[in-house]
Amino acid sequence: MLNALDLYAKIEPLIGFYDEYEQLYSSYLYLMQPLEIQTVLDVGCGNGKLAKLLLENGYDVLGIDRSEAMIERAKSLGINAQNIELSSLPSESFDSLLCVGDVLNYMKQDELKRFMIEVSRVLKKGGYLLADINTLHGFEISDGSVIKDQTDKFLAIDASFEDDILRTEMTYFEKENAHYQKYSNIIYQYYHPHDIFTKCATLTLLRTVNITMFSDESDKNLLILQKAT
């Protein structure tokens, strides 16, 4: 059975939303430009499209991801991408760390707090963390079902949001020779109130930017945090 991340890599072309994510990437680039940033670590780099945009704009970028399939996709774009953990990187080695596309929402609150400490270790003094998180509205509009039916592929996604947890069940059929192969898995995402970030002992929340991707209301917040100099 494919793990949830590699299954998502397989179904990503069917889900789409590439235009929406291109707009999100542009928001990151716009917010980064006034900051003193040269070296960037893209955590959960996925298909590498953001890393490629940053590379084209003069940044020195390393992408890391837990999905080997996504790492290969990023490498095909010429990105320096590795299937490694944040904990394996040296201390104070990056000017900025990015968590794009719900990366933080995949962590439970205790995991997130430990992650923030690790982020501070890897950032240089005065370095920045830029990350987007789903708003409560963003989670609420994700509740529901989606079906994608093509000649040789079929995808069903069923998402339910309850008690601040979004449970997304993915079922995917792909034709292989004369038969169909079935893949399935479940992803959990967690709503995080802002006080987790305002009370962070190692990083200071400098700014919150409202982002609208999938509705008329803000469904994401883009956060900018800084490590003390």
147 shares its domain with 170: yes
Digit-coded pLDDT (tens) for 63-97: 999 999 999 999 999 999 999 999 999 999 999 99
100 shares its domain with 46: yes
CATH of the domain at 148: 2.20.25.110
**How many Å from the N-terminal Cα to the C-terminal Cα in the chain?**
46
pLDDT value, residue 156: 97
**Residue 166 structural domain:** 142-189
87 shares its domain with 18: yes
Digit-coded pLDDT (tens) for 159-210: 999 999 999 999 999 998 889 999 999 999 999 999 999 998 899 999 999 9
122-125, Cβ contacts within 8 angstroms, sequence gap of 24 or more: 122/41, 122/86, 122/89, 122/90, 122/91, 122/92, 122/93, 122/94, 122/97, 123/92, 123/94, 123/95, 123/96, 123/97, 123/227, 124/92, 124/93, 124/94, 124/95, 124/227, 125/92, 125/227, 125/228, 125/229
Digit-coded pLDDT (tens) for 24-43: 999 999 999 999 999 999 99
Digit-coded pLDDT (tens) for 122-164: 999 999 999 999 999 999 999 999 999 998 999 999 999 999 9
183 shares its domain with 205: no
β-strand pairing of 123-134 with 94-99? parallel
pLDDT value, residue 1: 66
CATH of the domain at 72: 3.40.50.150
How many domains does one find in the chain? 2
107 shares its domain with 12: yes
85 shares its domain with 148: no
